[in-house]
Amino acid sequence: MSNAFIKTIEIDIIPIFEKIGAKVLKKTPNEAAFLFKDMEISIYLEREFEVYATILSLKLNKSVYLSEILSDYLNLKDRGIYHLSDRFTMEMCVKNIVDIIISEVVPLVLDGRINEAINTITLKRKEDLGKYYEDLAEKEAEKAFKEQRYDDVILHYSKIKKLDDVQKKRLNISLSKLKK
């Protein structure tokens, strides 16, 4: 399979990237990387059944998945990740990824909007992570309240930016129990 990946990259993909002025950086049995402007575009064959791509801004030193650009920045439904099957060969997967890169990512690079896209995506990641930690803190606070560990309730609720009415009531009860 890895030989087929390299062969597809050499025969079908390198000429496409060279036409737009990209240079080949890396070519291994599982990865092909290209330098286009100040972006490193990498295409991966993962576990011999999944093909995906990443975009690294050398200016920002931040990397995002092609799928994130499609869903989080361009609001497109295409996932940008392809799985090999009997009807969907590795060559087809790689070519589809490259078609998406050429039609969606290259215009962002040429317009100068790719760094904005990458910053938007990394900000969304941080927001999603913050939401995850708040949800976790809420569960821990609820558990601590039921177990009457009021100091833990206060600790966990302090991690949440906006408390709802129930959370505020539990926090106030916990504070009053600790004062006694």
pLDDT tens for each residue of 29-80 = 888 999 999 999 999 988 878 888 999 999 999 999 888 888 778 877 777 7
pLDDT score at 2: 57
pLDDT score at 162: 84
pLDDT score at 56: 93
Residue of 34, 73, 41, 74 whose CA lies nearest to 55: 41
In this prediction the pTM is 0.70
pLDDT score at 54: 93
Residue-averaged pLDDT of the chain: 85
> Rounded to the nearest 5 degrees, what angle is found at the Cα of 107, between the Cα atoms of 103 and 113?
135
- In tens digits, what is the pLDDT along the chain, a chain of 180 residues? 458 888 888 888 999 999 999 999 988 888 899 999 999 999 998 887 888 899 999 999 999 988 888 877 887 777 777 787 777 777 888 888 898 899 888 998 989 889 999 998 988 888 878 888 888 888 888 898 888 888 888 888 888 888 888 888 887 888 887 776
> b vs e for 16-32, b when ≥16 Cβ sit within 10 Å of the residue's Cβ?
ebeeeebeeeeeeeebb
